[in-house]
Amino acid sequence: MTAPLLLVSFAVLAAVAGPLLRLGTWADRSPRLAIFAWQAVSVSAVLSVILAGVSLAMPVMPTTTGVADFLQACAIVLRQQYSTPGGAALSTAGATLAILVLGRVLYCLVAELVSARRDRLKQLGSLSLISRRDPATGMLVVDHDVPAAYCLPGRRSEIVFTTAALGALDAEQRDAVLRHEQAHLRGQHHVVLGAADALVRAFPKVSLFVVARAEMGRLVELIADDKAAAGENNRLAVATALVRLAEAGSAPASALAASGTATVVRVRRLAAPAAPLRRVRVALTVAAATTVLALPLGVAATPAMATAQAQMCPLELPEIS
């Protein structure tokens, strides 16, 4: 029972303490690293609950080299577990927990992917009727009196500008916004946000996943801003473009808009960029996030490792006369 208790405790700790990652300014100074940290904590929390259920269902995982031997050993362990008082109830509860949590996550992930793809195809269908393609940039232009620019990710990715946006931005600012949207597409940011949306959909009352989704939505915009602002002069162009697009209405649900999230904070960051994190701090953060990811696996594997060690025969050293 030690491993399941430790895993559940770790999941609760991750869910409670995870939102503290948003404290300070370190995430704005290294948004890619911050996204990795949020993903590590979120995945670790879910994985801990699943492995806790597996540990209840199979208290001691057998260690064998062959598949047939492994399955036979599993059957023996399960038979012993079910023969003890309360063993059957614990095993059933653990297996049910693991299957429900894993099934819920997979179902919501598939549902998010299907829903996002359906929305994108619907939006692309509408754009095919009302837009025209700019021969110079390849982007789609829509006649509209609200300045807006956004991208539709996926296999048929597109970047969309309204005529009002083209009129509100000068050539340098248009190029900056175009680079911003291209950064979203190349970075596959919709995949990052889709996975975060799936966890929120699966467990909407867990604040960790809600906060993580909001933070990652902001962080991908910072990454795209940095890509668009390749030089010192470009930072001003990106900031000005964000201000001029800020009055735009919301982009389609399946789109990533240049002015969609935390515009004021992003403009301030572009105007007065902070120094990037030092290498030592980056290395420590990566090590901590990796440890958070690996810890549930290590806890779950400890009984099996102990069993394997107990089964090993110690080497006897020859006596020296």
For residue 213, name the pLDDT band (cuts at 50, 70, 90): very high
Euclidean distance between CA atoms 296 and 51, whole angstroms: 7
pLDDT confidence of residue 65 = 53
Q: Which residue has the higher pLDDT, 263 or 215?
A: 215
- Of the two residues 55 and 189, the one the predictor is more confident about is 189
Q: 84: pLDDT confidence band, cut at 50, 70 and 90?
A: low
What rounded mean pLDDT belongs to the chain? 84
In the prediction, which pLDDT does 43 show? 97
pLDDT over 70 percentage in the chain: 79
Query: Is residue 148 within 8 Å of residue 157, measured between CB atoms?
Result: no
Give the E-state strand segments of the chain in sequence order: 131-133, 140-142, 149-152, 158-162, 256-257
Residue 4 binned pLDDT confidence (cut-offs 50, 70, 90):
confident
Which residue from 255, 231, 272, 212 is spatially nearest to 124, judged by alpha carbons? 255
Cβ–Cβ under 8 Å, residues 147 and 247: yes
Residue 79 or 22, more confident: 22
Mean pLDDT computed over 286-300: 93
Mean per-residue pLDDT, 171-175? 91
> Of 56 and 288, which is predicted with more confidence?
288
299 band by pLDDT with thresholds 50, 70 and 90:
confident
For helices 31-57 and 2-17, what crossing angle results, to 10°? Answer: 150
**What is the average pLDDT across 293-298?**
92
* 136-159 average pLDDT score: 90
Whether the CB-CB separation of 192 and 259 falls below 8 Å is answered with no
pLDDT at 108: 97
Measure the CA–CA gap between 45 and 47, rounded to whole angstroms: 6
**Predicted confidence (pLDDT) per residue in 228-249, tens digit:** 987 666 888 888 888 888 765 5
pLDDT for res 154: 85
What average pLDDT does the segment 84-107 reach?
83
Q: Quote the pLDDT of residue 20.
A: 94
Which H or E run includes 166? helix 163-168
Q: Residue 310 has what pLDDT?
A: 45
What is the average pLDDT across 10-24? Answer: 94
* Residue 119: pLDDT over 50: yes
Find where tokens 């390849």 sit: 138
Mean pLDDT calculated for residue range 210-216: 96
Looking at residue 62, its pLDDT comes to 53
Averaged over 137-153, what is the pLDDT?
91
pTM of structure: 0.84
The band of 78, judged by pLDDT with boundaries at 50, 70 and 90, is low
Helix (H) or strand (E) holding 274: none
Return the pLDDT at 254: 61
Whether the Cβ atoms of residue 199 and residue 42 lie closer than 8 Å to each other: yes
